[in-house]
Amino acid sequence: MKRFFSAVVVVSLMAALHTTCTPLEGADQEENRFFIGLWEGVDPLDGSSVQVSISDIDRNGVIDIIWRESFFTLCDGERGVLTGTGTIGDDGILRTNEVLTCLTTGETSDGEGAYEPVKKDEILVTSSPTNPVLPPIILHQVSSRL
């Protein structure tokens, strides 16, 4: 009886782990797959080089963003890092809530981002819903690690 109980517990734990650790299936995973990877571009506003790391660390459909530029105008031309999370909407656009942290001063600035895929050209077009006058940044995928 003890052996049966142990087997039931092990099987139950395995089933629970499988349920919580299974990646997204079908269309959701395919939609995420396009975004996942390292992207690069040039900020047309100030000419800084841009690198954006996009991942789904927990494989739960919540996308993680880490964005760096050679310098940020909003950080008085100094270094900074932008981090955020978001989800892909029914329209296929990744929308994020982001925080820019200036590394020299520690100042932060909140904002929103939008990443629109142009799949036929394999690029992302970024925009800032909180500041729509900013020009879009075109990002090209340089690595897609899944």
Per the rule left: phi > 0, alpha: psi between -120 and 50, beta: everything else, 7 is alpha
The reported pLDDT for the residue numbered 120 is 78
Q: Which numeric CATH code is attached to 27-143?
A: 2.40.128.20
9 confidence band (pLDDT: 50, 70, 90): very low
Mean pLDDT of the chain: 82
In the chain, the N- to C-terminal Cα span, in Å, equals 44
pLDDT at 131: 84
**Residue-wise pLDDT tens digits, 55-111:** 999 989 999 999 999 999 999 999 999 999 999 999 999 999 999 999 999 999 999
* pTM above threshold 0.95: no
Q: In residues, how long is the chain?
A: 146
**E strands within the chain?**
37-42, 49-55, 63-69, 80-88, 94-102, 108-118, 123-127, 137-143
Q: Is 24 exposed, middle or buried (0-12, 13-18, 19+ CB in 10 A)?
A: middle
What pairs with residue 63 in β-bridges?
A: 86
- What proportions of the chain, in percent to the nearest 5, are helix, strand and coil? 25, 45, 35
What is the model's pLDDT at position 18?
37
Q: Which residue has the higher pLDDT, 132 or 117?
A: 117
